[in-house]
Amino acid sequence: MRYFALVGHRAMSKGKLPLNDLAGGAGRMDVLIRGLMAGLLKSHGIREDVEVILHLQGGPGPHRRLKFIGSELKGFHAEERSVAGLIAKSIKEPMPAIGQWVERSPGVYDGGGTLQRTLKEWQDTPLIRLDADAERLWNEDAILPSNSNSNSADIAFILSDDLPLEIEEGVPRSLGSTWLQGHLAIGLCHFLLDENVELNL
């Protein structure tokens, strides 16, 4: 499985999502939605080996998590407003207790908790914190694809919205010296894993 944790520092966690103002009033929910789509979608279809958790930290109220499981999703389309509708449906409901997941629609689960809770749940999975100021994610001495299936195991990535990610957990790795938008970084992670490029873990 490939796991992605997307952190929305200002993203709404409760209330009526302003579908016409995802970049402003919704707290840069547009950034999370693009990352979510990059994580889950191929050109034709959904990646069934992917799980994405959105961390909505902008309130009102406590942090909220929305989990999207590729193998279970139905009616998930490559259109921001449609995806925003799935999020809106979840955050208008009462927030479940920490540690509980409530299915809001096929493959979409709603739960309380912080990023730390997610990292604790992923504690047995290699964790990569994407950071431009770090060693490269791939092995620069092995640009060509590896013959091994080393990339077929579970791996998790943490990304932030347009604000810095201030945590120490995970191995910091870079996708290059240029800071990329989150959805592009996710696309590159998928490319490296799809092509079985040897990773620098």
Checking phi first, is residue 5 left (phi over 0); if not, alpha (psi -120 to 50) or beta? beta
Q: Is the pLDDT of residue 145 over 90?
A: no
Residue 164: band (very low, low, confident or very high) from pLDDT cuts 50, 70, 90: confident
C-alpha–C-alpha distance, residues 177 and 175, integer Å: 7
C-alpha–C-alpha distance, residues 32 and 56, integer Å: 9
Q: Where are the domains of the chain?
A: 2-194
pTM of the prediction?
0.93
Cross-strand partners of 197:
145
pLDDT digits (tens, 9 = 90+) for 93-120: 999 999 899 999 999 999 999 999 999 9
Angle formed by the axes of helices 29-40 and 182-194, nearest 10°: 10
Domain 2-194, CATH: 3.40.1280.10
C-alpha–C-alpha distance, residues 165 and 167, integer Å: 6
CA distance from start to end of the chain: 16
